[in-house]
Homo-oligomer: A and B are copies of this chain.
C-alpha cells in the first residue's frame, strides 16, 4: 500500500533535517527512521543529545516496522518535488513519486539503531517520564531564550554550558551563567513538582526551533531519569522530543545576585545599544572594555583601543550618586538585547555586580560583573 503526502505535511519534517547529524561515529544516526503503523507514520531522527519525532495519523495499511532511509538525499528530494504531492511506497526500497519524477531510495537495516522513548502528548505519567506538566510553547521559548545567551562556551565548568530549569510550586525559572554574568527568567505558573534539570545549551537551541514551528497552544513537558521529554500535538499528528540532561545542577547562585543598590539609572535600551555598538568598535579586542560615566541626566559611553578612541552620550535619569564603571561591552549588549524600550541598571558598586532589568516586576533579570579598575 502507498501513502500520499502533500507539501504541508512534508514541511513539518524540516525540523528533523537539523537534528539528524551529517556525520556520526554511528553511521545509522545519519539516517532518517520511519516507523510504519497500520494507521500512522512517524519520521524520527536522533542527534545523540536530542531525539525528535514527527508523527502523522495516516492510514498506511502496513504492519508495524521501522525503515532507515539516507536522510540527506531524502530531504533534498522532498524540498525539490515537481508536484504538491508525493507518493511513498514501502518495499525493498522506498519509492518516491511525484509527477514524472520517480526515485527509489535504498534502505538500511535498523539493527543497531537506538530505541528511543518519547512522552505521550497527553499527560499520562509513565515509568520513563513520571513527572509531567504543560505550558504554552511561547512561554517556554521565552524562558529558555532569555537565559540561554548567558551559558558558557568553555569546557572547564561543564555544568555552565547548560540552561537550568527549576520547576516548583512558585513557578518555572530558567537560568544560565558563565561565571561573569548570569541571566534568569521567572515564569509565575505554579508547577506540580519540584525538580531542577540542566539542558545543554545546544539542545536548548533545538528545542526553541522546534517549538517555534508548532502551532499548538500547549506543550507537554515530561521529566525522567536524565531525560526531558516534550510533546505537542498538531493537526493530524504530533511532534515529540527526548533531550538528554546534563548531570548535576548549578552551584548556589543567589549570593551573586546583588540586593542593595546605592544607584539606579534609567534609560532607553535601544539608544544605549546603538551608541554601545559604535563606541565599542574601538574597544580593545581582548576585553571589549567600554567605560560608562553615569551622571544625573546622561550616560557617557567611551572606548579606546589600538585604532583610536570613540565617545557618545545618551540621556538618562540617575537615582543616587554619579559613578564611573567599566564593562565588557558584549555582556552589556547581550543583557540589554531583550529589553526593547525603558531599561535600568541597578548598581551595587563599581566593582560589584550590576543588575539589568526592565523594572522590578520584570520576569527577566540579568547580572553583569563590571571589569576591575586597572
Q: List A residues at the B interface (Cβ < 8 Å).
A: 70, 73, 76-77, 80-82, 93, 99-106, 274-275, 277-279, 281-282, 306-314
By a CB distance below 8 angstroms, the chain B residues around A312 are 82, 99-102
By a CB distance below 8 angstroms, the chain B residues around A70 are 307-308
Pick the residue among B77, B103, B281 that contacts A77 (CB under 8 A).
B281
* Sampled A-B contacts (22; CB under 8 Å): A70-B308, A73-B281, A73-B282, A73-B308, A80-B277, A81-B278, A82-B275, A82-B312, A93-B308, A100-B275, A100-B312, A100-B313, A101-B312, A102-B312, A103-B278, A103-B281, A103-B282, A103-B310, A104-B308, A105-B282, A105-B307, A105-B308
Q: Could you tell me the distance in whole angstroms from the C-beta of A285 to the nearest C-beta in chain B?
A: 11
By a CB distance below 8 angstroms, the chain B residues around A82 are 274-275, 278, 312
A307 to B76, CA, bound (A): 12
Closest to A315 in B: B100
Max chain B C-beta neighbours (<10 A), residue from A77, A102, A307: A307
By a CB distance below 8 angstroms, the chain B residues around A101 are 275, 278-279, 310-312
A282 to B101, CA, bound (A): 13
Instruction: Check A307–B73 contact: CB distance below 8 A.
Output: yes
Instruction: Check A102–B306 contact: CB distance below 8 A.
Output: no
